Structure 1
């Protein structure tokens, strides 16, 4: 999947604390032509990566990271104009009400659903 303005592959930040699911998401995204910029497992790692690198176009955010919600990461991304999609096993109810306009997908990931959610997320704030 490429950026409509540059034709370059969309770079994705994956924020997922389950190693198997992170690897599965990476494989799916690579198969669809995305580039994974980083895969991190905690809110603090994600915030550091956003602050230090910021070299990505869209993010996939697991809602619950070992008992901590990912919403500070979502807020940081929205402030920077970077789109994101949530991944959750809790459905829409697991997402903070003011963030439910962003794509929400169920885990485990369905490949087409993941691709479509990130494509939609990439166009939300641009």
Structure 2
């Protein structure tokens, strides 16, 4: 389903990150990194070869926008995965980037990542 995709996970809740990682690997993806802060994620973008990312919107009280903006600059697809953020703000700022509301199921996550990467 997600064969050969290198996915960066940006999530500050350890259990959610672990669950996403195992689910993506079970679907054939390679997890290129797990980041829990904006700073770690921005650094990973410069150091890792990724095909797409899944981003929690609120990372320890900071919005993930610098990471999303950098992904846009790099022409890399991403999806938002959030439990408590105003989705209208996200669609106003990022247009057609998929917004998944936690808890999103495996089918929704896989479908969003596949659509984002045009697979």
After TM superposition, the structure 1 = structure 2 runs for residues 20-99 of structure 1, keeping only pairs within 5 Å, are 20-53=15-48, 55-90=49-84, 92-93=87-88, 95=90, 97-99=92-94
Pairwise CA distance, 1:94 = 5.2
Gaps of 5+ in 2: none
- Name the counterpart of 2:14: 19
Mapped to 2, the partners of 1:116 and 1:81 lie a distance apart of 19
Mapped to 2, the partners of 1:96 and 1:69 lie a distance apart of 15
TM-score, normalized by length of structure 1? Answer: 0.86
TM-score, normalized by length of structure 2? Answer: 0.91
Mapped to 1, the partners of 2:73 and 2:97 lie a distance apart of 14
Query: Per-residue displacement from partner, 1:48-70 (whole Å, max 9, x unpaired)?
Result: 011222x0100000000011000
Gaps of 5+ in 1: 4-8
State the superposition RMSD in angstroms. 1.8
Query: Is the CA contact (8 Å cut-off) linking 1:25 and 1:109 kept in structure 2?
Result: no
